[in-house]
Chains A and B, each alone.
Chain A
């Protein structure tokens, strides 16, 4: 019952005109920044951070958190409509989401994405309310060993996040892992492939790379053809609501996506981006008809959308209960708390109880705002696609450049976008898919880092990967994922031969 009174207290704090206003401002700005490719929640939070000096701690954190999870909603809008993800975590929404747009079902895709996001976000919030300390304790049972095995599972599934030839997808993963190795090696301090360029010391920026291979490359290849505009002029509610069959098909992916997202979000070493990719690859694997994926299957949109929003909420659990931020954006939010004179750590939930519950209450209100904001806007967004490409695409390139420039105030990021954009275009020409490439880039470096650390801590003993229970399960699943298709293929081949 204590939780009920706590949450009631939280709502009482949030339901002041001032806090509601900051919550709305946060989520609205988050959506907007999320929609614009290259501008992410991180930039929005960094920009507004100086403003929070003049706010109460509650208002400050409510607004900044709103930008964060609002960005997860917004990022998929541009992914679905123009095949350019607003944020790296929505890159996977381009696969089936944009296919739906091409089939003239953009409104359905946007509506589904908003509803799935809201529902998954709500599940994340409930988990946070009820089990925060427990989940935090569970997250602490993950060491380098367990992280390696979970990431291995992700990498094994990486090649399935694509349509077309399997070999090319595998090649893309390998390319991604290789590019991810640029920068200083964590374990030894040796610089790899930095060629004496100081900007490469910390590696290639994920945002710049994602904007290059997805955004820049998409724009270059679209400008080749005479791709026409998609979408209707007027959207009614009837056009947005998915069919009954689609709703039924979405329930399973929603449940699995939310579970994957809530789990990976709560681990400080993973997050929304990895969650959305892994949810997609899981969905494709359990599907009875994986051939539909990448051709506008609603399951391929619902699963990653649920995953990244559930993860965006559960990511607050280690941040607030342990004082351990999982992502750079979470670290920024902790920074905002420190500016307010609140030291995040294990005592935050006790010493700043009111703030903690107010934040949770604000999550719910913020997600509700997002749902209310996004559904009427579907009509407006869909019309965005009707802007002639000769106006739309140059503006997107400008926005991407502006976004990556502003992170470091240096043109270097823009050159990286151009460079990776050319690479991405080249990959398209030869049919190497971008999504597994990005996944290799994201998963490779932490996998290597955790593998070496785990072996160091075990003093070189490889058996630890199968003697630790969590790791053993992941390694088993990963091996099954590799062996099973090979076996069914072998069995099929055998059967064919017998028939001859």
Chain B
């Protein structure tokens, strides 16, 4: 048994050495940490096509859901570093080790960033009976009634939860969190008036606000979201506030440079594709391409900020 583990541990090195100049010679697998049909899966399938075309090989999407999206990066981090197993990750998984303990990877050390594809703006929304229409009014209202309001979160230390905690911290607000199991139940609680506020994806917020059920107070990106210019970002009130989940491609650490370069080129070409950008926008994502080195430079800071907030809210 021990020998088998050793052999498995050696696999990445063997495979890495075996990569010839001809990469890619077979289809590439893009691993997603969520089930088919969800937002991440949709993004994966949309991006796989143009990126595969640029690569000259098909990119197959593989869903490995579980443990809040941390099973997939754990799997990719331990896969052969040959460029045939890539991970479509998001910010939540990068703080997995802080939130869940040992998950078998480290977001910085275990991976090499290929490209950032998009950010998914979150929206702070208020129930229809709440007297606030923008971030400033929200801050004033909560300040005038400290400890009075509840907001819905889709789970402890989710980015939605952390975004509100960071906002409350920066603005000096007192409001209480109530956790639900996922985004839909928290939206339901907002619709039924059980809670006054919630943070949800901009896409979900839009359809409910068009139905007149909720008011969108603001978005968590630094800049207004294209197509939603009338909604002010939180950063209008709290300078520099940035709490938008990012989506990116990573490969296991130890992947040969030539392979990394080939993949970076392929995703750059893919992100220049107007069709892809349009379909990302249509689904409430903001196409925000970042080259691998740029992402590698930004990521540690991003993880640091989220981790600090997560540590503050988690029980010890």
Contacts and interface: CB of A to CB of B under 8 A. Distances in A.
B35 A328 contact: yes
A457 interface: yes
Nearest to A145: B194
A33 to B, nearest CB: 15
B63 A269 contact: no
A56 B105 CA distance: 41
B37 A335 contact: yes
B100 A199 contact: no
A224 B41 CA distance: 45
Interface stretch (A92-100, A117-125, A190-198): A190-198
B204 interface: yes
Nearest to B156: A189
A140 B67 contact: no
A344 B184 contact: no
Contact of B150 (A45, A140, A409, A457): A457
Interface stretch (B131-139, B175-183, B241-249, B269-277): B175-183
A209 to B, nearest CB: 15
B155 interface: yes
Interface string B50-82: 000000000000111111101100100000000
Contacts of A191: 100-101
Interface in A410-449: 410, 446, 449
Interface stretch (B110-118, B208-216, B230-238, B297-305): B208-216
Contact of A408 (B64, B180, B181, B213): B64
A346 B211 contact: yes
A187 B313 CA distance: 12
B36 interface: yes
The listed residue with most A CB atoms (<10 A of its CB), out of B176, B188, B192, B207, is: B188
Interface in B167-191: 176, 178-181, 184-185, 187-189, 191
A268 B188 contact: yes
Contacts of B35: 46, 328, 332
A11 interface: no
A252 interface: no
Nearest to B194: A143
B63 A345 contact: no
Contact of A196 (B36, B64, B102): B102
Given A184-B68, A323-B208, 7 more contacts: A185-B156, A322-B188, A323-B204, A331-B37, A331-B38, A332-B37, A334-B37
16 contacts: A45-B37, A143-B194, A189-B156, A198-B102, A199-B66, A268-B185, A269-B185, A335-B36, A335-B42, A339-B37, A341-B282, A345-B211, A347-B211, A408-B64, A408-B65, A410-B71
